[in-house]
Structure 1
Amino acid sequence: MMAGRSVTKADRHLDTLPKLLAHNAREFPDETALREKTFGIWVSQTWSQYQDNVRRIALGLTSLGFRKGDTVGIIGDNRPDWVAAEIATHACGGISLGLYRDLMESELGYLVNYAESRFVFAEDEEQVDKFLTLDDEIPSVEWIIYEDPRGMRKYDDPRLMSLEELRKRGDELHAADPRLYERMADETDGDALAILCTTSGTTSHPKLAMISGRRLINHCHNYLSVDPKGPDDEYVSVLQLPWIMEQLYVFGFALISRMKVNFVEDQETTMSDMREIGPTFLLLAPRVWEQIAADVRARMMDSSWIKRKLYDFFMKIGLAAFEKGRVSRLATFFLYNALKDRIGLSKVRSAATGGAALGPDTFKFFLAMGVPLRQLYGQTETLGAYTIHEPRDVNFDTVGVAFNEEIEIRVDKPDPQGVGEIVTRHANMFMGYYKNEEATKGDLRDGWMHSGDAGYFDANGHLVVIDRISDLAEMSGNRRYSPQFIENKLKFSPFIAEAVILGNKRDYLAAMICVRYSIVSKWAEKNRISFTTYTDLSSRKEVYDLIYSEVEKINDTLPEAQRIRKFVLLYKELDPDDGELTRTRKVRRGVIAEKYGEIIDTIYSDQDHVDIDTTITFQDGTKQRIQTTIAVRKVGDVPESRALTAAE
């Protein structure tokens, strides 16, 4: 392997992703850059092979008449070809638009039309079908390029082309002009619009944040100054590539530091694949960390009596030591080392969570285990995270401090407790919202990005994020509370997958809860409780009793005024496809209040149940009628409540 020169912040001429890739391919041609697990085998790609793939795709696009400024939509699982398609787009002077793989046709059509994409990359038949179903509803699309040819022979749409055919066209162009791609990459402009990144869209259609190559790369340099990476680091790309943080890691971090990026074979094999790689760096969304913690506790439920007792014993010792700022060698030797190895975290030197708040109980679980977990905070508009915990100063109630002095953070219009809106400014933020100057002016004022989040600085200068300002609520009597804080506590339970806290303008708090089907169904089978579907399982009295005990445990950790007094178990899981969650799994509270208004009104009445007769639509278009009865369960003494509608 050649001993080449690594990229530093001083390399200001390397201001686009194609230029960075060309540098690595020239300096470190035989060094492993990417790995993908295919048919059970890890297949590596060197920097030279990575560059060749990008060149073939870029020249193939050029042969189809690609023009500077064209927008390319990319949809599918995290794969090397996904990554290559984005960099190839930039090499052609184009703009990439990452599309979440689970988008419904209507959402996909909206984004493709909004960006006026001429070209789209679709991984397989499932994704191609979405575009073909939209047909003339997406008039800007001229080419649909697919990677996986299985099932594609039955289509004769003239817009379709296989990725392999595109590469062959690129090879022909390369043979005619061997230095064409090199010139294209050299001519890319670091200040030109390169990436359209969707915002979370908690209240409406997502906006498209405009990002240049230079801003992405410079922000990654700042991030790497507080969380360094190198060629010996291994990263497993789990979160969807359209998300801003995955853009930072898979593109910025990897191309600057040469951190190896690994792609799992399938979503279902993520944990086993991750264990095989042994990542040194990991970013997971809060829901994934919660799922891992829940799975550990679920596996212990299935183990023998003696193993459960030993697990509880050493976990108690470990947590007690952690609370005192120490590490229990006993718990580490007998429990934590084996546990970390089992879940693929034994080699992790840096771990992060971001995108939403992670419950403090889940945070403690991993920190006590020795996983160096840190919280990040940021928005798409700020190019993702701009705060992080320092390695020796992790406080799970906060999101840490700014990366460096270049990043300014303030709290606007604080109340007497110091809580106000979090506002930030740094040199590498987004360029504005695509085709939406009004929204840009609304959120970006005098160079300051108004986050819409409520927070404050603690005594140590750490930023504390409470919730979205629009989501902060008040019970009657001006008693303020954060729904998200209580929801995160509930989700620490292995039996609870999702929760929505109610109580705005009410006399007490209540909860709508979705059980974690994979674990509760296993618990039911073990306890000989018969059931047929999720709806049937969630309506069982035994399951209500189980969740009742979990809610009681959470109530013991909450102030008296913020305790949950009633709850219901929903007949279905909350789903982004139904508009109830964003694609990054944040609750859309307005949709919930409208959709489940009848249930909410019943909770705050004297009735002890609500009859449900509704139809749900699955992703494949099939429909199912659900007829069931949802019980309203009281927890402790319930204050008398005045009549109030869900809309209020």
Structure 2
Amino acid sequence: MMQTTFPRLLLEQAQRRPLDTAMREKEYGIWQVTSWADMAQLVEALACGLHQAGLARGEHLVVIGANRPRLYATMLAAQSLGAIPAPLYQDAVSAECVFPINNAEVRFAVVEDQEQVDKMLEIRDRCPQLAQIYYDDPRGLRNYDQPGLHALDELLASGRAHAQAHPQFFREQIELGQPGDVASLFFTSGTTGNPKGVVHTHATLIDRATAGMKFDRLTEKEEVLAYLPPAWIGQNIFSYAQWLVVGYVVNCPESGATVTIDLKEVGPTYYFAPPRVFEGLLTSVMIRMEDASAIKRRMFHYFMKLARRVGPARMDGRPISVSDWLLYALGDFLVYSPLRNNLGMSRVRVAYTAGEAIGPDLFSFYRSLGINLKQLYGQTETAVFVCLQPDDEAQADTVGVPCDGVEIKLSEDGEILVRSPGLLKGYYKDPVATAQVLTADGWYRTSDAGFIDAAGHLRIIDRVKDVGRIKDGVYDGAMFAPKYVENKLKFFSHIKEAVAYGDQREKVCVMINIDFEAVGNWAERRSLPYAGYTDLAQKPEVYELIRECVEKVNADLSSDALLAGSQISRFLVLHKELDADEGELTRTNKVRRGFIGNKYSVLVDALYDGKTEQFIETQVKFEDGRTAIVSATLKIGDAKTFAPVRAAA
């Protein structure tokens, strides 16, 4: 284990390679460069400024915003003083910030822009200890006159003056820090109740960042695009912990709207995204191909068929025939290389996906193109890296092998237990919850059900608490794994979200969100008119499209001896998209199945009562604060199920 702290790693990088690029930020269409020496000076000024403002050792500071060099520097500055940064999701509504700020007794907030300032001011009466709010981007804030509200530039000016008067202060403070000190506080997404604050030390985060570096042989020449929320530990590990451990370049997009363009400009070598992002990229490719000329479509489909047959074997280092090798080389010139370039993945050496299961077809598509897409397994509590897939052993239905320092075992009920140097110190101010997940002998209860296959790879089935049983009906007593079913449905580009029910019921029923862009494009090509999401979702033709997807999932499930009982009997397409702002999804886009079941109980009852349609009214909230009522009479469809396929004796 590397016995150091994040501020010490910064000073080492700045001393060893001061002029090398540490970060880039796109501003007004131009990439601005921050060197390691620049970053060290920025962190010193911020640390001295925060000290002058009264930030104390052991105190928490919240950071809210997108990936910005000055916000990352703020986290380093807080750690330099022995304080603890707690990044919060920038897309969270103001009310969601109240519990973390009060729970961690936060007095200082450093935020990105006017939007985040407005949130902090809105909740100030509920967070009376929140005294100081600093903002990075001054646009729109000229006429704001609130006590304790300051530009980050003011803090920097104060800090530079203090640093000049006390040139040894910054390094003396860093030397006081120890690897076992708390480095960061990450709040979980809170699928039930209030989020829990996960406490990590410098040692745990640096150890896991180092394990990932060694596994994939990362070097300082890597380029990373930081575009996911910094409050998510996955992004934090890739663009903060590993950035400081490895010393590669982190690139910050101009905005969420420019990520696709910036991805192509940067051409990252080390890339990380949840399956949703890979699905979105593939959907956009397929939509464009449908609009291409007949010759281009035929060429695309011919070479993609070849890629699906030859590409995975080629990626895994297995032998292929000379004719296939030559054809693949031609396909690479005509299709695969231009497509990788269009996706912004022409230079990707290692790409990871995590957070949810990824569809076999989706996984195979990227690997067929020559993109080294792999899966990893980890949680906030494990500092991400538990299992990783070796380059030549990437499979869609596993999450890899335990990486350096990790031990895995299964409890009697199939729960995955992990022991690792990257485990959380505990949940903040919650010893009861800590005792529930950490055993006396150092094992962490993941709450995931799974098993290790013959090749030593871990396979995930579902959350332990969500694995249920079918009661009565054709499959009485059969296992029901809702997340497994939902993920299989989301493998189809036309389905964005799915919520499955079936535990202690006689059959499985699901509620589905269509992917508006993909299904809209599908409808337009068929000259099928529609007036918005609600209208499109209830078209009979769309129901038939979704029914085909559901029945393909059922056919697949029927061949699985454990999960044949999880086949879907009935389904409906929701009249609105599930939304994190309305509590239906977490901030990491996981469905809140229980909340949705209560909110739409009339629909769940209709599915199980055998109805063919059900009227529903729902209040929705727009980004500008307006509310409206969306109503519709939803159709309820039946799906064909299949007899379980028995294995040959």
TM-score, length-scaled by structure 1 = 0.92
- What secondary structure is seen at the aligned counterpart in 2 of 1:512? strand
Offset at residue 285 of structure 1 (A): 1.0
Equivalent position of 1:645 in the other structure: none
Deviations 1:190-216 (A, max 9, x none): 221121011232222211111111221
1:322 Cα deviation (Å)?
A: 4.7
Q: 1 CA distance for matches of 2:610 and 2:642?
A: 11
Q: Which amino acid aligns with 1:338?
A: P
| CA contact 1:297–1:494 (8 Å) conserved in 2 | no
Following TM superposition, by how much is the alpha carbon of 1:235 offset from its aligned partner in structure 2, in angstroms? Answer: 0.8
Provide Cα deviations, 1:71-111, integer angstroms capped at 9, x if missing partner: 10011111111211100111121011010111111111111
Indicate the residue corresponding to 2:591 in structure 1: 587
Asked if residue 283 in structure 1 is aligned to residue 282 in structure 2, the reply is no
The match for 1:578 is: 582
Once the two structures are superposed, the pairs formed by residues 217-366 of structure 1 within 5 Å of their partners are 217-322=206-311, 329=325, 330-331=327-328, 332-333=331-332, 334-366=334-366
Match of 1:40 among 29, 37, 42: 29
Answer yes or no: is the 8 Å Cα contact 2:570–2:638 preserved in 1: yes
**Counterpart for residue 367 of structure 2:** 367
8 Å contact kept, 1:145–1:163: yes
Aligned counterpart for 2:437 among listed residues 443, 446, 458: 443
Q: Where does the alignment leave 5 or more consecutive residues of structure 1 unmatched?
A: 1-8, 415-419, 640-648
Alignment check: 8 A CA contact 1:608 1:632 kept: yes
Deviation at 1:502, TM superposition (A): 2.3
Deviation at residue 531 of structure 1 after TM alignment: 2.6
Whole-angstrom CA distance in 1 between matches of 2:422 and 2:252 = 28
Distance 1:295 1:342 in 2: 11
Instruction: Name the aligned partner's letter for residue 402 of structure 1.
Output: P
Using structure 2 for the length normalisation, give the TM-score: 0.92
Match of 2:20 in 1: 31
Rounded Cα–Cα distance in structure 1 between residues aligned with 2:138 and 2:549:
48
Superposed displacement of residue 184, structure 1: 1.9
User: Which ranges in structure 2 are unaligned for 5 or more consecutive residues?
Assistant: 559-563, 644-649
Q: 2:418 aligns with which of 424, 432, 436?
A: 424
Q: Distance in 2 between matches of 1:517 and 1:125?
A: 31
Residue identity opposite 1:42 in structure 2: W
3-state SS of 2:427 partner: coil
Contact 1:237 1:250 (C-alpha < 8 Å) held by counterparts:
yes
- Provide the C-alpha distance between the structure 1 equivalents of 2:466 and 2:553, rounded to a whole number of angstroms: 21
Residue 197 of structure 1, aligned match among 180, 186, 189: 186
Report how far residue 457 of structure 1 moved: 0.9
Distance 1:95 1:400, change over 3 A: same
Equivalent residue, structure 1, for 2:462: 467
Contact 1:75 1:127 in 2 (8 A): yes
Note the 1:627-646 alignment, pairs <5 A.
627-636=631-640
Contact 2:551–2:641 under 8 Å retained in 1: no
Contact 2:358 2:491 in 1 (8 A): no
State the shift of 1:366 in Å: 1.3
Instruction: Write the distance in 1 (CA, Å) between the matches of 2:513 and 2:296.
Output: 29
SS in 2 for 1:276: helix
Structure 2 residue aligned with 1:599, among 578, 598, 603? Answer: 603
Partner of 1:513: 512
Which of the numbers 611, 619, 625 marks the counterpart of 1:621? 625
Deviation at 1:350, TM superposition (A): 0.6
Residue type at the aligned position of 2:147: P
Instruction: Tell me the CA shift for residue 308 of structure 1.
Output: 2.4
- Native 8 Å contact 1:235 1:281 kept in 2: yes
Structure-2 change in CA distance of 1:474 and 1:335 (3 Å): farther
SS, match of residue 520 in structure 1:
helix
Cα distance in 1 between the residues matched to 2:382 and 2:78? 23
| Partner deviation per Cα, 1:454-497 (whole Å, 9 max, x = no partner) | 01110111111111011112223111132222222222222211
Tell me which residue corresponds to 1:410: 409
CA distance in 1, matches of 2:10, 2:615: 59
Give matches, 1:105-254, under 5 Å.
Answer: 105-254=94-243
1:579–1:455: structure 2 CA closer, same or farther, 3 Å change rule?
Answer: same
User: Is the alpha carbon distance of 1:428 and 1:323 closer, same or farther for their aligned partners in structure 2, counting shifts above 3 Å?
Assistant: closer
CA contact (8 A) 2:260 2:344 kept: yes
List per-residue Cα deviations over 1:533-583 (Å, max 9, x = no partner): 222221222322332333334334331644333221111111111222111
The reply to whether residue 383 of structure 1 matches residue 377 of structure 2 is no
Partners of 2:416 and 2:557 in 1: how far apart? 26
Could you tell me which of 56, 67, 72 is aligned with 1:78? 67
Q: Would the alpha carbon gap of residues 620 and 115 (structure 1) be closer, same or farther in structure 2, given more than 3 Å must change?
A: farther
1:157-212 per-position Cα deviation (integer Å, ceiling 9, x unaligned): 11200011111111111222222222222222222112101123222221111111
- RMSD over aligned Cα atoms: 1.9
- Contact 2:568–2:641 (CA<8 Å) still a contact in 1? no
2:646 match: none
Aligned pairs, how many? 622
Query: How many angstroms does 1:117 deviate by?
Result: 0.7
Q: Name the aligned partner's letter for residue 350 of structure 1.
A: V
Contact 2:416 2:449 in 1 (8 A): yes
Distance in 2 between residues matched to 1:425 and 1:556, nearest whole Å: 38
**Whole-Å Cα distance in 2 between the matches of residues 618 and 106 of structure 1?**
16
Residue 537 of structure 2 corresponds to which residue in structure 1? 538
Q: Cα deviation per residue 1:294-318 (whole Å; 9 max; x = unaligned)?
A: 2222222222233223222222222
In structure 1, distance between residues paired with 2:398 and 2:128: 47
For residue 471 of structure 1, what is the amino acid of its counterpart? D
| Other structure's SS at 2:557 match | coil
Q: CA deviation at 1:638?
A: 11
State the distance in 2 between where 1:94 and 1:510 align.
49
Q: Aligned partners of 2:58 and 2:623: how far apart in 1?
A: 33
Q: Compared with structure 1, are the counterparts of its residues 369 and 485 closer, same or farther at alpha carbon in structure 2 (3 Å cutoff)?
A: farther
Checking the alignment, whether the CA contact within 8 Å between 1:350 and 1:372 is kept in structure 2 is yes
**Do the aligned residues in 2 keep the contact of 1:295 with 1:494 (CA within 8 Å)?**
no
1:565–1:638: 8 Å Cα contact kept in structure 2? no
Shifted more, 443-452 versus 482-491: the winner is: 482-491
Aligned AA (2:572): V
Amino acid of the structure 2 residue aligned with 1:368: S
* SS in structure 2 of the partner of residue 558 of structure 1: helix
SS in 2 for 1:445: coil
Q: Decide which moves more: 373-382 or 353-362.
A: 353-362
Who is 1:558 aligned against?
A: 557
Distance change >3 Å, CA 336–CA 265, structure 1 → 2: same
SS at match of 1:299: helix
1:433 Cα deviation from its structure 2 partner: 0.7
Question: Residue type matched to 1:289 in 2?
Answer: F
| Structure 1: distance between partners of 2:300 and 2:198 | 46
SS of match in other structure, 1:607 = coil
CA offsets per residue over residues 572-608 of structure 1, 9 Å max, x none?
1111112221111112111121111110111122321
Would you say the 8 A contact 1:33–1:260 is kept in 2?
Answer: yes
Moved more, 69-78 or 312-321: 312-321
Q: Hey, what does 2:83 align to over in structure 1? A: 94
**Structure 1, residues 398-447: CA drift from partner, whole Å, max 9, x if none?**
1111112x211100105xxxxx0000112331111110011111110121
- The alignment-based identity, stated in percent, is 37
- Alpha carbons 1:54, 1:84 under 8 Å: kept: yes
Determine helix, strand or coil for the equivalent of 1:384.
coil
